[in-house]
Structure 1
Amino acid sequence: MLNKLDALKYFCTAAETLNFRAAAEQLAVTPPVISRTVAELEDELGEQLFRRSTRTIKLTSFGEQFYLHAKQLLADSERLFQLGKKQTDDMAGMVRITLPELPNQTAILRDLLTILRPYPELTIDWRVDVSKLNAVEHRIDMGIRIGREPDPNFIIKPITTSGSLLVASPDYLAEFGTPKDLTDLAKNFPVSGLFNPHTGRIWDLQADGQSYTPLKINLITDDHAAELASALAGRTVSQISDLLCAPYLASGELVELFPELPQECWQIYLYRPYLANTPKRVLKVFGILEGILRAKLS
């Protein structure tokens, strides 16, 4: 027998025409194919679908009930396949985006949603998620990251670079003093530690082309915004993106340590997973977001 959906289609066409030859013409097959498919369906169901005479065929009572269910199933299956087509072609469906705290974040999202106003069936799932949700497990379509090196497992669009500054609050410096140099900072001063999920360890402090392993870690986090909060609270020296620090340096809430030393440069990039078939809505939003990020952050 044909696959069951095709068999139901043949049966429903025969039930509507009550003529196997006419049904065959509609379906571009021969009348024996219709007869054989109906007979195999009857064997599968253990019930007769049609009453046949030399001149006419009619549905049996069971055939009438079966036709109603078969017709509904075919309609539902057609809607199911059209749903996937609509989501791809008509910009309908969900696009999931994850990102860390960013400067101009509200303006970035506002511009994105403004550009997407012609697509009312498109839903944006915008997660400011410091844990950088797993793209596969959490079905993330794209994201923004700040890191030393982009993850090679993703399609990457570099946006800009950001200097990594060592900062502390005036209250912190009043309580603990000012470190003489980077070695003094690493050995004797409370700092925040940014967790590296790939190694299971804290990143070393980086400055002047060298690494310094901190000994007094008062905050461990995988969130740059949390490190900023710790520095503002006077708890730690933190190494943070200059984009995040800029307004607090300008207001005097934070002070840069060792401004004369070259600091490490971090990368801000947009990414999406490698997929065999990426929906058009995802590609569209990815391109729009890339342009907005370059305008707001570069």
Structure 2
Amino acid sequence: MNLQALRYFLMVSTTGSFLATARHFDVPASSVSRFVASLEKELGQQLFYRSTRAVRLTEQGQRYYSQVREAIDLLDGAAEQLAHRDATIRGLVRINAPEALGRLHIAQLINQLQARYPELSIDLTLTDELIDPVQEGADITIRVGPLVDSGLIGKVLSVQRYRLVASPEYLAIHGAPQTPDDLRKHSCLLYKGHQGAQRWYFRPSSKENFESVDVSGPLRSNNAEVLVAAAIAGRGLVLLPSWMFNPESFRECKLSNVLTDWDKSASPDDRQIQILSPENRLRSQKVREVSAFLSDGIGSPPYWDRCDESGTLESDGVDI
């Protein structure tokens, strides 16, 4: 069985494109198609459904993908350990992260990572869907959510913290709420995801349970950056993860923190920021190195939570 055909098969499975695979390996698309067709003939199974719009795995192809992915990872890991003679890491690492967190923070860390390791290739997938890293072939998954027994190995960086903010202009006109119940009288800008409109939760300390407060306002959106822009424009208050806010917005007095003495959340339970990998991926030194780089780059607590109320970075973590 041709090893290159298997690599083409895996890349087509990941990208859904023969052309993208050809570009990745710098070969003609006809070569990729020919190798994959030869693999299907050898197996006696159709691995892909092909159309003018997309290429997707058949049921047989999905089962074969999971098995081949692990086998190729083991081969690559063995070759990597044999060839590793210096401090340079090289090859491909596949990373999955939430969309906004990945765009605002993970992408810039990857730029720093590749500046340090020029021979390292990164396949970064941003999605808010909860994926199966084994099925999707992700080496490193960055998750924000409750701790679950997923069989993945990694570490918790921090509890996700939230900021409740509004523009100084809005607060000058409407006044700053003094308690969560005061929010019922205010214009609240709400994130609306797959599970409906966001709910807001508050507690006076971490020793107590979160209690929800019914809020409403003039704008809902499935895009958090739209809500931040609306808050800056004076349309109301917004509650979002602290990593959504640019410190410049506070230094330039575009936004002000509200109800700073209260814990805030969009969930009745604490949610953690985690860096996780399937156990077999951690056999690879490059995956361990990249995971450590991202973990150190984000920090614990994360660097975006090491700011005072004006948005100025502090040397030690603070409870926002």
Tell me the percent identity: 17
User: What displacement does 1:216 show?
Assistant: 1.0
Distance change (3 Å), C-alpha of 1:256 and 1:288: closer
How big is each residue's C-alpha offset from its partner over 1:204-260, in whole Å with a ceiling of 9 and x where there is no partner?
Answer: 332425423333152243x65454334223333112334443332222110111233
Q: Is the 8 A contact 1:98 1:143 kept in 2?
A: yes
Equivalent position of 2:166 in the other structure: 168
Aligned partner letter, 1:155 = I
Equivalent position of 2:220 in the other structure: 219
State the alpha-carbon separation in 1 of the partners of residues 297 and 178 from structure 2: 41
Aligned partner letter, 1:229 = A
How big is each residue's C-alpha offset from its partner over 1:43-85, in whole Å with a ceiling of 9 and x where there is no partner?
Answer: xxxxxxxxxxxxxxxxxxxxxxxxxxxxxx9xxxxxxx99656
Equivalent position of 2:241 in the other structure: 241
Q: Which has the larger Rg?
A: 1
RMSD, aligned CA: 4.0
Q: Which runs of 5+ in 2 are unaligned?
A: 3-41, 43-69, 81-89, 304-316
Which aligned pairs between 1:177-256 and structure 2 lie closer than 5 A? 177-185=175-183, 187-194=184-191, 202-208=198-204, 209=208, 210-217=210-217, 218-221=219-222, 224-245=224-245, 246-256=247-257
Aligned partner letter, 1:191 = C
1:111 matched to 2:112? The reply is: yes
Equivalent position of 2:262 in the other structure: 261
**If the length of structure 1 is used for normalisation, what is the TM-score?**
0.55
* One of 111, 124, 127 as aligned partner of 1:126: 124
Distance change (3 Å), C-alpha of 1:226 and 1:145: farther
* One of 265, 270, 292 as aligned partner of 1:287: 292
Distance change (3 Å), C-alpha of 1:230 and 1:86: farther
State the alpha-carbon separation in 1 of the partners of residues 76 and 233 from structure 2: 46
Equivalent pairs, count: 213
State the alpha-carbon separation in 1 of the partners of residues 179 and 242 from structure 2: 20
SS at 2:299 equivalent? helix
Distance change (3 Å), C-alpha of 1:203 and 1:142: farther
Equivalent position of 2:76 in the other structure: 87
Distance change (3 Å), C-alpha of 1:203 and 1:282: farther
State the alpha-carbon separation in 2 of the partners of residues 243 and 94 from structure 1: 24
SS at 1:101 equivalent? helix
State the alpha-carbon separation in 1 of the partners of residues 160 and 74 from structure 2: 41
Equivalent position of 1:271 in the other structure: 276
Aligned partner letter, 1:289 = L
State the alpha-carbon separation in 1 of the partners of residues 73 and 258 from structure 2: 54
Q: Is the 8 A contact 1:192 1:237 kept in 2?
A: yes
Which aligned pairs between 1:18-167 and structure 2 lie closer than 5 A? 87-88=76-77, 89-90=79-80, 91-99=90-98, 100-101=100-101, 105=106, 107-117=108-118, 120=119, 122-127=120-125, 129=126, 131-132=128-129, 134-136=131-133, 138-147=136-145, 149-153=146-150, 154-161=152-159, 163-167=161-165
